[in-house]
Amino acid sequence: MIAMEKETTIDSPAEAEAPPPRRRVVRRVRAQNLPLVPMGEAVVFPSMELTIQINSPRSLRALDAALRDHRRVVLAARHVEEEDGESVEGLVPVGCLASITDIQALPGGGQRVSIQGVKRVRLRKVTQEDPYFRVDALELPDKTTDGEQMQDLMARVVSQIDTYVSLVPGITNEVGNFVRGIDDPGRLADMSAYSPDYTFEERQELLETQDVAERLTKVSGFMLRLIELAAIRQKVQEEVHAGVEKSQRDFFLREQIKVLRKELGENDPETALIDEFRGKIEQGRMPEAVKAKALNEVERLQLQGPHSPESGMIRAYLDWLVELPWGITTEDSLDLDRAAAILDEDHYGLEKVKERILEYIAVRKLAGDRMRSPILCFVGPPGVGKTSLGRSIARALGRQSVRISLGGVRDEAEIRGHRRTYVGALPGRVLRGMRDAKSCNPIFILDEIDKVGTDFRGDPSSALLEVLDPEQNHAFSDHYLEVPFDLSKTIFVTTANLLDPIPPALQDRMEVIELPGYTDDEKVRIAQDFLLPKQRDAHGLTADQLVLDDSAMHSLVHEYTREAGVRNLERELANLCRKVARKAASSAEAESQVWRLTASDLPAYLGPRRFTHGLAEERDEVGVATGVAVTQAGGDVMAVEVILMPGTGQLSLTGQLGKVMQESAQAAVSYARGRSADWKLDDKYFDQHNIHIHVPAGAVPKDGPSAGTAMATALISALLQRAVRRDVAMTGEITLRGKVLAIGGLKEKALAVDRAGITTFLFPRDNEKDLVDVPEKVRQHLRLMPVDHLDKVFSVGLVEQFGI
């Protein structure tokens, strides 16, 4: 059985304690025992008329009983999901007494019942379950008061209902009129429950509210929610509607534009694009043949629909054609003084290069365009200013500059482009560079020309030949472009670390200018006058804020870097500027502070000194001689080690020595063997010993004949057990008769020897002519000794030892 309200009184105790002042109706009624039809979540109000369908046998029996007893029945909702008239579980405490006005049998046994709600009733007790439910029901009359407050409440609810009706499409205004016609406030509140938007809980709450003012207040609250909901619904509706309208409108407009364009003879954007291409081609300065080809392509584009894949390719091709600087040249500035000033402004020293550039300007001034553009090739270790010189030339001449790097280029197509039939084809790097230059007479810097490789994809250097050859480059053909492009007005500047790897055919076409590296003093000047100001500027420091004296610069050059160029030096200076800039930015006082740094301050900023002594060996040793090599990083000293051990006369060579170097080693051994009698060595000595020659660092490949003297010296030192002087370095190719032959790169080698802190440098007498290249400063403190025979090398290089 369900739990029901207390039986005794109509009112709850709280209501009974506070007697209302002007009660219209105060009646005590007896409970009536009536048939009950339990419903689902449906709430019937007094004065409501509605039709319900009854199927449950128990409820049908209840209806029968009702028809027999004044047609009265109690309808009450249940808090259940499934409607089922067979149970009273979850029955609400307040229902509605209704009168049956009509009843119709339905096929299948059910009944359609028309009812009229009569009054609220409190369900006190279910008194019977079988064969149908009966309940003791107590009438709950409206508790109402007259007065302004009630009128106001009614007016508010009526106007809310009006608003609501206006917001919900499908409710006619009649509802508003009907509501206005109700003058009983309780009925007004009950009628509002016709709204389909009330929830079951809201309806039931209204039914259970006996106090009319309270009921109306609740209705007002519910209406507010409904109005808000309806307003949102309406807004969404409007937006959806507006969206549909806009797209329709756009469609019509677009159609109209099409029609208008047709009238004007300019079909669509595609036509505009085609006209744009045509205009650019006709107004540009393409050679006639190229123009004809371009217009041809435009025609092809026009025939293709805008959506064909071909049209994208044609468009890309035309873009390239019109973007290249056909016939566009910049005016050269041929003022020699100005050019000289600019070159000096950008670079310290490098007199030979600067002179060559000024000569070019002078000749050009006299000969005009008849003169062929030179192809300069700067060869030297990294960081000696090869690339930046190229830029500086452009500035001096007032030309544009572009740079491409050829390092690692192995595919001819990188230079000359892919044919247009390839997907994603592009012109080669040369023409891409020309497009960026926006003029056809720029300074074109080809970096790292010695790093161009060759493999199955073709030989890029043959394409480069065509680029650089003045006989051919007026009509350079790119696979993608298909039409020739004139490169003859371009000045090409190439850079390389080494000359050897450049194919001879390319070398022939270039004017090689060597930049062998700087002495310490030159580096200090470059750092003071160029690199430091540049880095200070880049880090937002003023010239007064950071000053390094020459001792600091020397320390940077000597103890923090070891290189032929100034790249690491510049990096260290940048490092220093960064550290100072950080301090300066930390406070207002620090900003006005001056940093005057000397050598001893540097470790605090840059960490401990990296190179604390020269590369010279630390003491005179047996079997170790100091040779000199020229590598990509400039000249460098290298130790040549020899040891002898009992064996069978084998020669081992380690340290990644190239073929030529291995032959030098063999020559040194043969020479020593040939002279063994002079040194009083046993005849069988060489058959009973193995010789191992090693040149560290083992992982770096080395080659060339110039280590011959050093190998021979180390070998003789080991054979005679006489130490080699650590302060002597040597270079030179040797013959089997002990003659010392000329080598290349004397200047780089002299610089490297000087850098390593060695005092005597033995070099082939044939190279004496190159001494002029060695900077004065180096010549002053390095003993440069020309030698023509190994005997002389030994006599200087080996430590005197009496008794042998």
Q: Is residue 382 a contact point for ligand ADP (CB under 6 A)? A: yes
Q: Is 749 a catalytic residue?
A: yes
- Provide CB contacts within 8 A for 586, sequence distance 6+: none
Q: Which of 749, 777, 792, 795 is catalytic?
A: 749
Q: Min. distance of Cβ 494 from ligand ADP in angstroms?
A: 11
Q: Is residue 495 a contact point for ligand ADP (CB under 6 A)? A: yes
Tell me the HSE value of 427 on the side-chain side, using a 13 A CA sphere.
Answer: 24
Cβ closest to ligand ADP, residue 348 vs residue 605: 348
Q: Is 706 a catalytic residue?
A: yes
Length of the chain as a residue count: 804
Considering only the stretches 137-145, 382-390, 472-480, 616-624, report the one whose residues sit in contact with ligand ADP under the rule CB under 6 A.
382-390
Q: Is residue 566 a contact point for ligand ADP (CB under 6 A)? A: yes
Considering only the stretches 136-144, 352-360, 385-393, 544-552, report the one whose residues sit in contact with ligand ADP under the rule CB under 6 A.
385-393
- Provide CB contacts within 8 A for 481, sequence distance 6+: 320, 321, 324, 417, 427, 431
Cβ closest to ligand ADP, residue 726 vs residue 747: 747
Q: Is residue 165 a contact point for ligand ADP (CB under 6 A)? A: no
Residue 616: what residue type? Answer: A
Asked if the peptide bond before residue 137 counts as cis, ω within 30 degrees of 0, the response is no
Q: Is residue 472 a contact point for ligand ADP (CB under 6 A)? A: no
Considering only the stretches 310-318, 565-573, 762-770, 782-790, report the one whose residues sit in contact with ligand ADP under the rule CB under 6 A.
565-573
Q: Is residue 732 a contact point for ligand ADP (CB under 6 A)? A: no
Distance between CA atoms of 764 and 776, rounded to whole angstroms?
19
Cβ closest to ligand ADP, residue 278 vs residue 534: 534
Q: Contact at 8 Å (CB) between 112 and 103? A: yes
Alpha carbon 63 to its chain centroid, in Å, reads 80
Q: Min. distance of Cβ 629 from ligand ADP in angstroms?
A: 19
Q: Min. distance of Cβ 501 from ligand ADP in angstroms?
A: 16
Distance between CA atoms of 741 and 709, rounded to whole angstroms?
10
Q: Alpha carbon of 163 to those of 149, 171, 179, 189, 206: distances in Å?
A: 21, 11, 12, 16, 21
Interface residue with ligand ADP, options 385, 614, 655, 732 (CB under 6 A): 385
Q: Min. distance of Cβ 564 from ligand ADP in angstroms?
A: 9
Q: Where are the alpha helices (DSSP H) in 372-424?
A: 386-397, 412-416
Q: Is residue 526 a contact point for ligand ADP (CB under 6 A)? A: yes
- Which token pair is 236? 């969404």
Q: Is residue 557 a contact point for ligand ADP (CB under 6 A)? A: no
Distance between CA atoms of 70 and 419, rounded to whole angstroms?
102
Q: Contact at 8 Å (CB) between 213 and 150? A: yes
Q: Is residue 354 a contact point for ligand ADP (CB under 6 A)? A: no
Q: Is residue 284 a contact point for ligand ADP (CB under 6 A)? A: no
Asked if the peptide bond before residue 608 counts as cis, ω within 30 degrees of 0, the response is no
Q: Contact at 8 Å (CB) between 687 and 649? A: yes
Q: Is residue 519 a contact point for ligand ADP (CB under 6 A)? A: no
Q: Is residue 386 a contact point for ligand ADP (CB under 6 A)? A: yes
Considering only the stretches 248-256, 316-324, 563-571, 702-710, report the one whose residues sit in contact with ligand ADP under the rule CB under 6 A.
563-571
- Which token pair is 601? 């301050």
Selection from 476, 517, 503 nearest residue 406 by Cα: 503
**401-405/546-548 β-pairing:** unpaired
Q: Which of 220, 664, 706, 717 is catalytic?
A: 706
Between 387 and 426, how does the x/- string for binding to ligand ADP read (CB under 6 A)? Answer: xx--------------------------------------
Distance between CA atoms of 655 and 77, rounded to whole angstroms?
102
Q: Is residue 212 a contact point for ligand ADP (CB under 6 A)? A: no
Interface residue with ligand ADP, options 218, 410, 567, 609 (CB under 6 A): 567
- Residues lying near ligand ADP in the complex (CB under 6 A) are found at 347-350, 382-388, 495, 526, 530, 565-567, 570
Catalytic residues: 706, 749
